[in-house]
Amino acid sequence: MKASLGNKDWLALAARATPSSIALIEDDENEVSYEELSSLADDAATRHREAGVARGTVVITPAGTVDSYLVASLWGAWRAGVAPLVVDENSPFAGAWTYSVAELAGEGGPRLHTVVLTSGSGGVPRPVRLSHGNVAAAVEASQDRLGNTRDDRWLLTLPLFHIGGLSILWRSAAVGGTVVVHRRFNAARAAGAIQSGAVTMASFVPTMLYRMLAADPGPYSGMRGILLGGAAASRELVERALDAGLPILQTYGMTETCSQIATVRPGDAIESLGTVGVPLAGVSLSTGEAGVGEIVVSGPMVSPGYLGEPDREGGHHTGDIGYVDERGRLVVLGRADDMIITGGENVYPEQVAEVLSRHPELKRVKVVGVPDVEWGQAVVAIAIGDPEARSGIEVWASQRLPRHQLPKRWAFVDELPVQPGGKVDRVALYEIAKGAE
């Protein structure tokens, strides 16, 4: 089954084509067929209509864990022409409003499909408007790159209040595949699902992959692809995973682009190390006249803007700095607002963290800048590792990094602070950095 730009109710299409095929597997045993899930979605759509919810209305949907009821509720909303906004049940947005009529585009403009909050890793989340065209284009481009089919079983451990989780529902239903639901991420359980052959595809953020390899270093076999995105992943982590037999496909995207815009092609993982692959079909991006600069993205999957704000003009300015290499692969250097200017020199934190992560005493490293009287900003390394090894690490680093990139302060932690979706919490990271010595 091929994703269709003309009809986005992929659940209904799959229910008609292969009604007995399994759409969801919950808790490793409860199987829900496409026919059953579509029927539950019909019930949810009916509830919206009977409640008088108009098409184009945004409905706040608090969700702590993923189950068939929540998934059916989302499909029912889309079927009724209602735009769900799924939020963490502990989010301040959960009580913001029950129903809120969205500002719709003019006649002939994009129809509202879903509203998704940005991760908020660097501040307050923003509600992103995604049109039907955005979702359809994103799914088609993803399928073109990954080649997933109805035989694939996609592990869902990401929350549905982030675009990464929602995208799995769309991508799988578009081809009549199966979503294997783990209500909460558990590293050992995820490793077991892969080892047993229960799943063939997965989507992880680097923290999840790191914890899974710590729980079970492998070797693994049988997986067709693991999308790794949502945050920067160190080369050392990716190499460990590849050596363990995990087909890591580094990917880059964001809520405003309806998830993926660049992904490593299956089979190109080793050649593409250090990059996030080539842009997907339909994606146009630029990194400025100098070749290295802010990544600006255009294409049919790019959101028209934020809820309650005017439509954007031109491409989406990602706030990330990067460049396209000689083979057309995108290299992401980090956030523009994370760049550290120390002693008049520019320092990209991810470049420094990449080098430091290669030291055997350091398990994970993040680098941030904090105000400094002498330097303007000081480079601070926050690492999972043994503080007693600091002096040796600093000597090692001095042989591999320019002087201005060397951390002036260090903070050693047991775990990096993360948000519910698994991304590193940049605000909490900065607070730790302020206390570093």
Q: What is the pLDDT of residues 247-303, one digit of tens each?
A: 999 999 999 999 999 999 999 999 999 899 999 999 999 998 888 889 999 999 999
Mark residue 353 as left, alpha or beta (left: phi above 0; alpha: psi -120 to 50; beta: remaining): alpha
8 A C-beta contact, residue 143 and residue 172: no
The residue to which tokens 């595949």 are assigned: 177
**Region 121-125: what's the mean pLDDT?**
61
How many whole angstroms separate alpha carbon 38 and alpha carbon 47?
14
The pTM of this model reads 0.81
What pLDDT is attached to residue 342?
84
Q: Say whether 334 sits in a helix, a strand or coil.
A: strand
348 vs 71 pLDDT, higher one:
71
Can you tell me which residue has the tokens 């089919």? 149
pLDDT band at 108 (very low <50, low <70, confident <90, very high): very low
The 10s digit of each residue's pLDDT in 334-368 is 777 777 888 767 788 888 988 898 899 998 899 98
Q: How far is CA 292 from the centre of its chain?
A: 23
Domain with CATH 3.30.300.30 in the chain: 339-434
* Bridge partners, residue 100, by sequence: 58
Residue 131: phi and psi, rounded to 5, are -90, 170
Long-range contact pairs involving 253-256 (C-beta distance under 8 Å, separation at least 24) = 253/163, 253/229, 254/118, 254/163, 254/318, 255/116, 255/117, 255/118, 255/119, 255/128, 255/162, 255/163, 255/303, 256/118, 256/128, 256/302, 256/303, 256/316, 256/318
Range(s) of the chain covered by CATH 3.40.50.12780 = 10-334
- Higher pLDDT, residue 131 or 1: 131
Nearest partner of 118 among 315, 259, 250, judged by Cα: 259
Sorted by sequence, the CB contacts under 8 Å of residue 157 that are 6+ apart come out as: 182, 184, 185, 190, 202, 203, 204, 208
Give me the architecture of the 339-434 domain, per CATH. 2-Layer Sandwich (3.30)
- Percentage above 70 pLDDT, the chain: 90
The reported pLDDT for the residue numbered 104 is 38
Q: Does domain 10-334 have CATH number 3.40.720.10?
A: no
Angstrom CA distances, 268 to 146, 224, 249, 275, stand at: 12, 13, 8, 11
| Residue 255: strand, helix, or coil | helix
Q: What is the 3 state secondary structure string of 102-118?
A: CCCCCCCCCCEEEEEEC
Mean pLDDT of the residues in the chain: 87
